[in-house]
Structures are given as structure tokens and as C-alpha cells.
Structure 1
Amino acid sequence: MKSYIGLFIISAICLLSACKKEHFYTRSIVNNTDYNIRLVLFGDNQRALGDTISISSNSTEVIQDHYSQHRPKNGLSCAFQQDAIVVLANGRPAEISKSIFSDDYWEKDLVGKRSLDQDCFFEIEAADLRILSH
């Protein structure tokens, strides 16, 4: 009986890891953009919380994020889907949809820097971030 339980647990872990998709990105620095965008913040229980984020061009580094199926040297993204970017906003993981931008050059429009704590997140400084309640 114990061997069946162990086999079930191992099978479940293998199935879960096979379903996990990883999206990899490259990054570069761009400048001079201001944007107000809709942002989905994930609470501690991973429930989506709706907020609006204001990203200003006051930061020194802007993220340019290109999707790729192959892992580049510097890049793992935690985005759940291809058409999204993950940032840390006020210390919480947040996913920004690329669809909020008006053209294919949306990568010019994000201000922030790589998180020191977790390579797969981008971090937006508090001075450059305004969460506007609805």
C-alpha cells in the first residue's frame, strides 16, 4: 500500500512539472515614457486584485521584454502567459498584459529594473509607482 502511495506522489509531481511552462525574455534599457496602465496584483492567496499602475520615465532603467522559447543568458520570467510581463509592485508579484499598449513597440513603455531578490521579476521603485484605487 505504501508503495502505491509513493508511486502516486511521484507520478503527480512528474505530471505537474511537465505542465509547467517557462517563458524566457531578453532585456535592454529604453528611456522617456509615461504610462497609466491596468495592473493585476496577486494577493497572498494568488487571488487577482485589480489596480491601476502609473509608470513614469523618472527611473534610470526601462525594461524591454521579448518573448522567446529559448533561455537567454540573463533571463527567466515568471509570467503565467506569453503576453504578459511580471513586475514586483510594492513587493508583490504583478502581471502586466502587453495588450494595453497601442502597438508592437510596447517594450519602450515600461520603467523599472531587475529585482535583486528574484531574477524572474522586474521591480518598480516606489517613487515611480502609484497604485490608484477605483
Structure 2
Amino acid sequence: MDLDFRTWAKGMLGKHTLDAGFGQFFDILAWVCWKRGVYFGKVDYRYTSQICPNCGINTGKKDLSERIHKCPECHYEINRDVSAAQVICQRGITAVGQIVLENDCVGGLSGVYNNLDKCFGSSKPKL
């Protein structure tokens, strides 16, 4: 996910947003992930509330007041925010799969497969 902090700076908080150091957030997050041996990557965050996580069809633009995702094709219904999170997770899994194929000789990506269980609601205990 890539957040555009420049748009936040134009908002109500303006310069305070930039002063808070949000621009370094991803650098710090990437470093912490590297330090702990966990893979960190960015995915495209756009149109996540318009894509059905079940069948992948574009369901079109929704009003902010519409809180439930309802797919006209597969009839999948879920909270809109949960749906968007599932789409982001699927994009991340796809991106990791491409990286693993490209860097197959590197020896894998430590920490990736352990964290993918969170996307699918696994009830494994946290170690």
C-alpha cells in the first residue's frame, strides 16, 4: 500500500502532517521488517473497494454511505472495509508470488508465509 502524504498535507492539518514525520514511516517500517526477517512490500491501493475479493470483478464506484460490498456477479456480501483489505491482501500475495518466481535462487523470503495466515483468518496461536 502506498500512502500519498502530499494529499494529507493539503488537508485540514496541512504543515503539521509533514512536520510529524509521516514521510519516513515506510522507511522505518521497511527497516523494522528487514531487522525481524519479515518481507515488506507495497501494493497498489487504488480501486480496492470497487473490486470483488471473491470473483475479481469491478463492481463500480460506491458512495461512502454504502458500507456493505455486494457483488452482482457472485452475490458475495461483506463489510466494505473488510472487502478492500482482502483485495489488498490478495494483491500482496500475488506480488510476493512474482517476487518468489523472479528471485527463486535467493533462497525464499523469510517471514512471508508465516504472515499470510493473517489474510485468511487462520486461528494459529501467535508465537
Structure (1 or 2) with the greater helix fraction: 2
TM-score, length-scaled by structure 2: 0.20
TM-score, length-scaled by structure 1: 0.19
Q: Which has the higher contact order (CA 8 A, sep 6+)?
A: 1
Structure (1 or 2) with the greater strand fraction: 1
